[in-house]
């Protein structure tokens, strides 16, 4: 049995505007979340402030000095006597090493100078000290 309806049927349509809003919200979430995915090369230390601080584009090696005097090379604990050989083992012949030092502001100055003296004996090494811009 057929039922005839005198009302005209509206054409079916899919409203995609809410779907586009959801897609843009998801896209914005992923863009913002990737901004917080930074590569931390050193151990967390309280860096001192400096007016002339500049961002280094790349650092081959990061030497971190903790407040208790512990030394780490690229987040791996290392003895100061083995620091030079550990860096030289990773260098290709005649490659310039950019070494960034991250020393906590509570580390004694003598300890930092001792480690810098050790690193300066590496031929072709360039030293940089990490600071926080004010």
Q: What is the pLDDT of residues 91-110, one digit of tens each?
A: 776 677 788 888 888 888 88
Degrees to nearest 5, angle at CA 65 with 60 and 67? 160
Is residue 71 within 8 Å of 104, Cβ to Cβ?
A: no
In this prediction, residues 8-30 reach a mean pLDDT of: 89
Which CA distances in Å does 75 have to 4, 19, 49?
A: 78, 44, 22
**Fold classified for 49-133:** Nucleotidyltransferase; domain 5 (3.30.420)
Give 58 or 7, the one with higher predicted confidence.
7
Summarize pLDDT for 52-99 with one digit per residue, the tens: 876 644 447 888 888 887 888 888 888 888 888 888 777 776 677 788
> CB–CB of 72/99 below 8 Å?
no
């Amino acid at each position: 049995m057929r039922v005839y309806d005198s009302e005209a049927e509206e054409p079916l349509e899919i409203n995609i505007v809410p779907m586009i809003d959801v897609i843009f919200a998801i896209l914005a979430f992923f863009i913002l979340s990737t901004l917080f995915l930074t590569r931390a090369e050193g151990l967390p230390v309280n860096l001192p402030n400096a007016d002339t601080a500049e961002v280094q584009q790349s650092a081959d090696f990061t030497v971190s000095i903790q407040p208790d005097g512990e030394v780490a090379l690229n987040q791996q604990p290392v003895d100061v006597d083995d620091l030079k050989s550990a860096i030289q083992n990773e260098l290709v012949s005649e490659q310039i090493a950019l070494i960034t030092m991250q020393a906590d502001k509570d580390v004694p100055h003598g300890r930092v100078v001792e480690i810098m003296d050790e690193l300066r004996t590496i031929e072709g090494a360039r030293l940089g000290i990490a600071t926080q811009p004010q």
